[in-house]
Homo-oligomer: A and B are copies of this chain.
Amino acid sequence: MKVKELMDTNFIDVFPDQDIVEVSLKMEKYKKFTTSVVDHERKLVGWVTSIEIIKGLREGKKLIKDIMYTPKDVVSVNENDAARLAVIKASKYKVISIPVLNDEGKVVGVIRSCDIVETLSQLYEIKVSRIFEAMAAELKGVSWNELMEASAVVTKRQTGERITAKKYEKRIKNTTFGEAIWATGGLEKFFVGLIAIGEYVLARKVARARK
């Protein structure tokens, strides 16, 4: 995934010579805590957050250029960067939004921390059954019911819980990946469980072949 797939193209920008009061009205209207400052080619020349606006209003400053951060102090990403890079930067610099530039330095979007949260949390919110469906589709010679049975056996072996294949199937329909990770005690344990299911499925195949 690239930055351009994650970014919000619905952003505001302002000019360095614009009046602070006018900009404050624009930020209020669009409910934005930050705005890029651009020149007439839309190249990034500064960055302003609502904190600088407040300070500027209180101190009686007039223009955006009097209160803005200059590009060297602004965290930005390129639209073709890996989305991961934007996530790492947002996390490292603890910023709520990052301007996205194209190769010419023009502002083409904004990465917002709430969009990152949404995207990352979608991973957690995937239903476990979806993961199993993908596995069933790719595992050769293993039926859905066999997979559920193997999973129930592995669960019993690992947790002591007596669970039927039917109950297991019902459970994963209502469980998200995020919940499963917490329930199994961490990402690594979840993986170990999947490997164990793979082992078990093959053991059954071998046993069938011998009969």
Contact = CB atoms under 8 A, between A and B. Distances in A.
Interface of A: 1, 21, 24-25, 27-28, 31, 33, 49-51, 53-55, 57-58, 82, 84, 87-88, 90-91, 94-96, 112-114, 116-118, 120-121, 123-126, 130-131, 134-135, 138-139, 177-179, 182, 187-189, 191-192, 194-199, 201-203, 206
A95 B114 contact: yes
Contacts of A206: 202, 206
Contacts of A53: 50, 54
Contacts of A88: 121, 125
Nearest to A192: B138
A10 B150 CA distance: 47
Contact of A114 (B49, B113, B120, B196): B113
